[in-house]
Amino acid sequence: MPLLKLVFLGTGGAVPRPGSALPAIYLEDWLGNRVLLDAGEGAQYRLLEAGVSPASLTLIAVTHMHEDHVLGLPGTLATASLFGGRPVVLAPRSAHDVLRGLGVEVMERYESRRFRVSCVRTCHTIDACGWLLEWDAGIKFSRDKIAELPRWAVAALARGEAVEVGGRVIRQDDVVEGRQRRFKRLLYTGDTAPCPEVWSAVGEVDVLIHEAAFADDVSPRKAHREGHSTIVDAVEAARALRARVLVVTHVSARYPDKSRHKALARVVRPPPYVYVPDDMDALLISL
Ligand SMILES: [Zn+2]
Ligand SMILES: [Zn+2]
């Protein structure tokens, strides 16, 4: 079953506070991929606390070169390499030359058989990639809908091709069970101001991890000018992307805790389901 495990290693903003570390999220999927999304300072210690060896990471995807997102990268890579690990590093292209100085392979896109990660350019103060993670979860045909079709047509539909049977064009979506989608998608924005045109180009996602540096006490205009979002912006993005689950992170150190964000998340109706994690909270999501 498509299942994701997320551990929020650091949920703070640009400045750390006790109990609210710099940005880093660990993601493990049902295929065995292990991904670190951003590597704030100290990320490797919190990975170890979560029981994950840096050497076991498949890839590390950093959204941009602001220090709060990358200072944990050298240490995490050094430890990984001591234990024979060689995670792929993803970063915006403009950062590749600098990061190659760490002696690693750096790319803007990753693809394996049933999993791919690509850059979605977000709206921050410097070049930044949100990371779109996509899994091919396969499809299940509805028995009723394929019962009358010849074998060759079912085989072609399984490959994703459209077929014509008895003068009728049939596509894969017409014969799958229920409303399931073949590709499961998660978008992690990193730092961003609202980016509506980008969201509409992305289409739908299942899970959105969006920054909300600010709650409702800072003027949206000020937040956007700094390349950041409020929790209202995050909810609007989740609606535009039709996300089922919205996770809000990168909460500014101006807040002594996340109670203001959590209170606002509770009044969101209708869904998405909004979750405001604290450091080291874990979340299991069935896609
Ligand atoms: Zn940041
Ligand atoms: Zn930033």
Domain ranges for the chain, please list them. Answer: 3-138+182-286, 139-181
* β-strands 34-37, 24-29 pairing: antiparallel
- Residue 190 pLDDT more than 80? yes
The rounded Å distance from CA 64 to ligand 2 centre is 7
The rounded Å distance from CA 136 to ligand 1 centre is 30
Tell me the per-residue pLDDT of 79-124, one tens digit each, with 9 for 90 and over.
Answer: 999 999 999 999 999 999 999 999 998 999 999 989 999 999 999 9
The rounded Å distance from CA 53 to ligand 2 centre is 27
CATH number for the region 3-138+182-286 comes to 3.60.15.10
Q: Quick one: average pLDDT of 136-159?
A: 89
Tell me the per-residue pLDDT of 241-285, one tens digit each, with 9 for 90 and over.
Answer: 999 999 999 999 999 999 999 999 888 777 789 999 999 999 999
Signed CA dihedral, 34, 32, 92, 225: sign only: negative
- Indicate the angle between helix axes 231-240 and 259-266, nearest 10 degrees: 40
Q: What is the pLDDT of residue 179?
A: 65
Q: Which amino acid is at 21?
A: A
**DSSP code of residue 41:** T
- pTM to 2 decimal places: 0.90
- Residue 180 pLDDT more than 80? no
Chain centroid offset of residue 176 CA: 26
Q: What is the pLDDT of residue 106?
A: 97
Mean pLDDT of the chain: 94
Encoding tokens for residue 127? 């070049």
The rounded Å distance from CA 66 to ligand 2 centre is 5
Encoding tokens for residue 273? 């389901």
Distance CA 29, CA 57 (A): 12
The rounded Å distance from CA 13 to ligand 2 centre is 9
Closest CA to 109 of 125, 129, 124: 129
The ligand with the least distance to the CA atom of 69 is 1
The ligand with the least distance to the CA atom of 64 is 2
**DSSP code of residue 166:** T
Q: Return the C-alpha torsion angle 29, 34, 38, 40, nearest 10.
A: 120
Q: Which residues are catalytic?
A: 68
Distance CA 189, CA 209 (A): 6
Ligand 1 is an ion; residues with CB less than 5 A from it: 14, 68, 191
The ligand with the least distance to the CA atom of 125 is 2
Distance CA 210, CA 124 (A): 13
Beta bridge partners of 273: 245
Other C-beta atoms within 10 Å of 110: how many? 19
**DSSP code of residue 246:** E
The rounded Å distance from CA 245 to ligand 1 centre is 22
The ligand with the least distance to the CA atom of 250 is 1
Cβ-proximal residues to 45 (8 Å cutoff; 6+ apart), any chain:
none
Q: Quick one: average pLDDT of 144-169?
A: 90
Signed CA dihedral, 186, 127, 113, 6: sign only: negative
Distance CA 272, CA 246 (A): 6
Higher pLDDT, 180 or 191: 191
pLDDT band per the 50, 70, 90 thresholds, residue 181: confident
Q: Quick one: average pLDDT of 196-211?
A: 96
The rounded Å distance from CA 109 to ligand 2 centre is 20
Q: What is the pLDDT of residue 215?
A: 96
Asked if 189 contacts 226 with a C-beta cutoff of 8 angstroms, the reply is: no
Q: What is the pLDDT of residue 158?
A: 86
- Residue 1 pLDDT more than 90? no
**DSSP code of residue 235:** H
Burial of 18 (0-12, 13-18, 19+ CB in 10 A): exposed
